């Protein structure tokens, strides 16, 4: 008798669990494929998620709901709906889902790209738009862009004269890297024939790969503390190496400014501008904020 009661209780519990899992619930969410237990609609993404989402949009419309693990995602797949979300209701939808890799070293709490709309985000955006992305600043660097392209052409021409092979990808990356580093630091980070550019490229590429790699912790947030694929750990290693490079440049600039006080007010490059940034509306750029701004 006791065995029968226990059996019935277990059976009823199993039936109840199946009902609450599979029974359709009323929801204000857009339509979407019926999610499987635990994994949701992850398997519907396939090897080419962009194509899978396009096919699903033909069935469920330009606004659909996908259950990715334990995370609910809303997919927008038409220009009209994108305009509605990104333009007409931009403030309401301005918050971004933060990949677990970006949480390495607390980067998401300091980066302009990942901060929610707040006084801190507005202050960092103001510094960037005033001193880095301003039309006047970009126009003033036109001669620099021309100079770096001329250096690239001359380098390739010299190699051709000597019948030497040219790693176009490497020298192109070196040129772009030097353009950015001159805008931010007023120095060349590398020479066209240097291996340092390749090392720096590998470091930047490592950050991009880890940020884009599918991560179980993004679909099941409960796994964040475990970091099962060690993606966040590897991102921390890359960030620490970048911080080491930026720390050296900031330290060198501060020492030069001590020797020449006129530098502190010249704001000749972006690093000077952010070092000169004064406290405004209760916010002041700290060293971690500066390094996060340089990493974006």
Distance of CA 18 to the CA centre of its chain: 39
Quote the pLDDT of residue 25. Answer: 57
User: In the block, which residue shows the tokens 């801190």?
Assistant: 120
What is the 8-class DSSP label of residue 34? P
Nearest to 98 by CA among 236, 239, 221: 221
Distance of CA 229 to the CA centre of its chain: 19
Quote the pLDDT of residue 68. Answer: 92
* pTM listed for this prediction: 0.77
Quote the pLDDT of residue 140. Answer: 75
Cα separation, 252 vs 272, in Å, equals 12
Domains and CATH numbers, the chain: 28-94 (no CATH), 119-294 (1.10.630.10)
User: In the block, which residue shows the tokens 């970091």?
Assistant: 227
Cα separation, 35 vs 55, in Å, equals 17
Residue 74, SS3?
strand
Cα separation, 13 vs 76, in Å, equals 38
Quote the pLDDT of residue 263. Answer: 46
For 279, counting Cβ atoms within 10 Å of its Cβ (0-12 exposed, 13-18 middle, 19+ buried), the class is exposed
pLDDT 10s digit of each residue in the chain, 296 long? 555 556 565 666 666 555 555 555 566 889 999 888 888 999 998 888 889 999 999 999 999 999 999 999 999 999 999 999 888 988 888 888 899 999 999 999 999 889 988 888 888 888 888 877 777 777 777 888 888 888 888 888 888 888 888 888 888 888 888 888 888 888 887 777 777 777 777 888 899 899 989 999 999 999 999 999 999 999 999 999 999 988 988 888 888 878 776 544 455 788 887 887 755 555 677 888 888 888 87
Cα dihedral sign, 142-143-148-149: positive
Helix (H) or strand (E) holding 68: strand 63-68
């Amino acid at each position: 008798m006791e065995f029968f009661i226990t059996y019935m209780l277990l059976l009823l519990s199993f039936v109840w669990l199946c009902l609450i899992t599979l029974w359709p619930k009323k929801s204000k969410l857009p339509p979407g494929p019926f999610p499987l237990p635990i994994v949701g609609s992850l398997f519907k993404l396939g090897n080419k998620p962009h194509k899978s989402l396009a096919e699903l949009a033909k069935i469920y419309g330009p606004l659909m709901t996908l259950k990715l693990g334990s995370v609910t995602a809303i997919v927008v797949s038409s220009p009209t709906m994108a305009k509605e979300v990104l333009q007409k209701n931009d403030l309401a939808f301005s918050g971004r889902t933060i990949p677990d890799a970006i949480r390495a070293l607390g980067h998401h709490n300091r980066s302009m790209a990942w901060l929610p709309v707040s006084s801190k985000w507005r202050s960092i955006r103001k510094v960037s738009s005033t001193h880095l992305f301003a039309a006047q600043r970009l126009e003033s660097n036109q001669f620099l862009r021309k100079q770096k392209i001329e250096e690239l052409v001359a380098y390739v021409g010299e190699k051709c004269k000597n019948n030497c092979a040219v790693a176009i990808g490497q020298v192109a990356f070196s040129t772009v890297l030097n353009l950015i580093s001159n805008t931010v630091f007023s120095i060349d980070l590398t020479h066209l024939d240097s291996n340092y550019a390749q090392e720096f490229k590998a470091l930047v590429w490592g950050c991009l790969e880890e940020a884009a790699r599918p991560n179980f912790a993004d679909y099941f947030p409960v796994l964040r503390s475990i970091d099962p694929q060690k993606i966040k750990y590897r991102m921390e290693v890359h960030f620490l190496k970048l911080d080491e490079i930026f720390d050296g440049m900031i330290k060198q600039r501060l020492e030069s400014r001590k020797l020449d006080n006129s530098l502190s007010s010249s704001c000749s490059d972006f690093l000077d501008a952010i070092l000169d940034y004064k406290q405004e509306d209760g916010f002041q750029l700290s060293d971690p904020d500066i390094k996060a701004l340089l990493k974006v």
